[in-house]
Copies of this chain bind each other. A is one copy, B any other.
């Protein structure tokens, strides 16, 4: 279940070097990404239109790519411009080109109707390129459908259990009631917790003598992008009073690779210790460790559900994930209806 008319994160900018033929599968479609001499990134179908050999194991020739099976050469628009041993190149010899926008260190590819590609639908991932936010970029691969991971991100009650010894540290997170705000293409989730012990990972960089208040304020928008402001501060003050607070920013993107696998791009940065690489690295390490905890749990869950399917029973905490799944369902159905007529 996918919404196609969306910008999907295909790569971190630094993954697409100037000479690279970078291959990544998105929504089951094999895509070649390459950065032109101008710096622009283009995305082409990775299958040579002749007999399906991967262009990504071909050869860069300037802004062109040559298939190294029988030598067909393509320009950056996806048009075949040379067939060895053949004087004419028929006009239909070409590969699909996908709309691309590179914004704030993420390379986005539009997977739906190119006519509908609309930069206004890009998510606001400016924290990726904000000099006040210090972070290390990360990528993780999941061998499950992206919606299982979206479920996880839509319900932070799991921090108390999955991340008990890393990002959690208190059952109060699970006890708290989040607030939900509908967005045009997603959901805003606000979860606040008063007077809890620091999370274990806070202790690797913070210095709070006693309990803290914590907040998680995030938008989760189509196709599966989380944009968060979170942090901790001295307990008991108003939620607008950030005196003594430690602020963090996070951008995370789920991109379906196939129906059963997912690319996960993420960063969690800090704004409170400028130039302190130790803190930045420590936060990155803790988040990676925690996301590996998520992956272990989610993969165990999915393996069991595939082996022995069962009807799931909803609880109150599912409110967020149910809304997001419903949104994806409505949008995907609308696209299917539009496509058939």
Binding site secondary structure of chain A: loop
The stretch from A198-206, A211-219, A300-308 touching chain B is A300-308
Select from chain B the residue with minimum beta-carbon distance to A176.
B85
A315 within 8 A of B: yes
Query: A270-284 interface mask toward B, CB cutoff 8 Å, 1 = contact, 0 = none?
Result: 000000000000000
Q: Does A71 contact B (CB under 8 A)?
A: yes
Whether A83 and B50, one on each chain, are in contact in the complex, defined by CB atoms closer than 8 angstroms, is no
A190 at the interface (CB under 8 A from B): no
Interface residues in A216-257 by Cβ distance below 8 A to B read none
Contact A307 B68 (CB under 8 A): no
- CB atoms of A304 and B70 under 8 A apart: no
Number of interface residues of A (CB under 8 A): 55
Known A50-B313, A313-B49; contact A297-B85, beta-carbon cutoff 8 A: no
Contacts of A57 in B (CB 8 A): 296-297, 300
B28, B49, B84, B161: the one within 8 Å of A307 (CB) = B28
Instruction: Produce 1/0 per residue, A295-322, CB < 8 A to B.
Output: 0110011001101101011111100000
Stretch of A138-146, A151-159, A323-331 that contacts chain B: A151-159
A30 — which chain B residues lie within 8 A by C-beta? Answer: 304, 307-308
Q: Which of B66, B83, B300 contacts A53 (CB 8 A)?
A: B300
A158 to B: closest C-beta gap in Å: 6
Q: How far, in angstroms, from A266 to B183 measured CA to CA in the complex?
A: 61
Q: Tell me, rounded to whole Å, the shortest Cβ–Cβ distance linking A166 to chain B.
A: 13
How does the 8 Å CB contact mask read for A26-59 relative to B, with 1 for contact and 0 for none? 0011100000000000000011011111100100
Contact A54 B300 (CB under 8 A): yes
CA gap between A51 and B321 in the complex, in Å: 12
In the complex, per-residue mask of A63-91: 1 if CB is within 8 Å of any chain B CB, else 0: 00011111110000000000111100000
A289 interface hit (Cβ, 8 Å): no
Q: Is A116 an interface residue (CB 8 A)?
A: no
Cβ–Cβ < 8 Å partners of A84 in chain B: 157, 160-161, 171, 174-175, 317
A290 to chain B, nearest CB (A): 13
Q: 24 A–B contact pairs at CB < 8 A?
A: A30-B304, A30-B308, A47-B305, A52-B304, A57-B297, A68-B161, A69-B158, A69-B161, A70-B158, A70-B174, A70-B315, A71-B157, A71-B160, A71-B174, A84-B157, A84-B317, A85-B174, A85-B175, A85-B176, A85-B177, A85-B316, A86-B315, A86-B316, A93-B313
Which 3 A-B residue pairings sit nearest by Cβ, starting from the closest? A84-B174, A53-B301, A52-B305
Given contacts A72-B315, A84-B161, A85-B174, 17 further A-B contacts (CB under 8 A): A25-B307, A28-B307, A28-B308, A47-B304, A52-B305, A52-B312, A54-B301, A57-B297, A68-B297, A69-B158, A70-B157, A71-B171, A84-B317, A85-B176, A86-B315, A86-B316, A93-B313
